[in-house]
Amino acid sequence: MKTFKIYSLLIAIISISLFSCDVIEEPFMVVQEVVSDSCEAFIFSPVETYTKKVLLEDYTGQTCGNCPRAAEKAHELQEQYGEQLVVIAVHAGWFSNTSDEYPNDFTTEVGNAWNTHFGNSLAGNPNGMIDRVGYPNSYILQYSQWGEEIAEQIQIEPLVGIQIAATYNTSSKLICIDTQSEILYDLEGNLNITVVLIESGIISKQTDYSVDPEQYVDDYEQNHVLRKGLTNAWGESLGQETYLQSELFTHRYSIEKQADWDINNMSVIAFVSNPATYEVLQVEELHIID
């Protein structure tokens, strides 16, 4: 009788365990919210010539004491190249952890996914990527190397042109975004578009080893801070395997402004990349409020 009881117990445990497995079928992601009805489609007018713009991703963190040097470098390069250089400051990794002294959380799902995939914070902050060129070998660059790579990438003829339109409704707090990607040459392979929001002029505490003896700045100005992905981290496919010159692809997004965002300092950034190599072919930035 005792043996019987023990058997029943073991059998019960085994059967409970065997059923403890959920296999999830697609879709794995919860379907993204559809574009709000109150957003009206924007009609883009044709553009004669597109210039190549370059994306600089600056991987940084609020407790990274050498990161302000990289931010200064990014600023200096933007002075030099103007609108042709688009900067995203990605706060991710250990240096972006929050604490009592650094309560602001600048990390984002998109930024964390990029950081996990590309391994930037593991490589030691600050560092960055220019159009994600060189993946998977020498793609993580020190800020001293940025200028040279940008100078090279900026020479490249653009293969894709991007236009962005955005409106903000102050009463509903809804941001409506339209993008149009135009293929400029016949292309083989796949293209994805990724759209994110950034915010500049955020005042918060930052560790800074150049400030003696405090080693931090209380009212540091964080610029180009990645705030939110409108697509997922790897973007959405334009949906074809070959592309013909002058084909157009439009995408629409909407999102409600979050309470801690200052809309006056926000921009939309859209970039088209090759999902196989991750290389960014073209990028565009638009300030939401002119």
Partner 1 sequence: MKNLLSILVLCTGTLLAQSGQLSGNFQSDFQLYLEDEALDFNLENPSSGFPSERFLSNGFANIMYTNSNFSAGIRYEAYQNALLGYPSGYKGEGITYRYAQFSKNGLDVTVGNFYEQFGSGMILRAYEERNLGYDNAFDGIRLKYSPLKGVYLKSLVGRQRLFFDKGEGLVRGVDGEVSLNEAFVGLNEIKTQVLLGASFVSKYQKDLNPAYNLPENVGSWASRMSVNHGRWNFNSEYVHKYNDPSAVNNYIYKTGNALLMSGSYSKRGFGLSLAAKRIDNMDYRSERDQNLQNLIINYLPALTKQHAYTLATIYPYGTITTGEMGLQAELNYKVKKGSRLGGKYGMGVLANFSNVYAIDKQQIDAFTPLDSTGTLGYSSDFFKVGEEKYFQEFSIELSKKVNKKLKFIGTYINTEYNSAAIVGYSYHGMIYSDIFVLETQYKIKSKHSIRTEIQHLSTEQHEGNWVMGLAEYTISPHYFFAVQNLYNYGNTDKKISYPTVSAGYNKGTSRFALSYGKQRAGIFCVGGVCRNVPASNGLSLSITSSF
Q: Which residues of 112-141 are buried (b: 16+ CB within 10 A; e: fewer)?
A: bebbeebebbeeebbbbbbbbbbeeeebbb
Interaction pattern, residues 92-131, with partner 1; x per rule: CB under 8 A: -----------------x---x--xx-x--xx---x----
- For partner 1, give the closer residue by CB, 22 or 100: 22
- For partner 1, give the closer residue by CB, 18 or 43: 18
Residues 41-100 that bind partner 1 (CB under 8 A): 65
Q: How many residues bind partner 1 (CB under 8 A)?
A: 49
Residues 233-262 that bind partner 1 (CB under 8 A): 233-234, 237, 239, 241
| Residue 42 identity | F
Q: Does 34 bind partner 1 (CB under 8 A)?
A: no
Interaction pattern, residues 133-172, with partner 1; x per rule: CB under 8 A: ---xxx-x-x------------------------------
Q: Does 9 bind partner 1 (CB under 8 A)?
A: yes
DSSP string, 220-259: EEE-SEEEEESS-TT-EE---SEE-TT-EEEEEEEEEPPT
Cβ-count burial of 82 within 10 angstroms (0-12 exposed, 13-18 middle, 19+ buried)? exposed
With H, G, I as helix, E, B as strand and everything else as coil, classify residue 116: helix
- For partner 1, give the closer residue by CB, 134 or 286: 134
DSSP string, 46-101: P-S-PPP-EEEEEEE-TT-TTHHHHHHHHHHHHHHHGGGEEEEEEE-SGGG---SS
Q: Does 39 bind partner 1 (CB under 8 A)?
A: no
Q: Does 232 bind partner 1 (CB under 8 A)?
A: yes
Report residue 251: phi and psi, to 5°: -135, 150
Please report, as ranges, the residues that interact with partner 1 according to CB under 8 A.
2-3, 6-7, 9-10, 13-14, 16-18, 20-24, 27-30, 65, 109, 113, 116-117, 119, 122-123, 127, 136-138, 140, 142, 190, 192, 207, 209, 213, 215, 232-234, 237, 239, 241, 275-276, 278
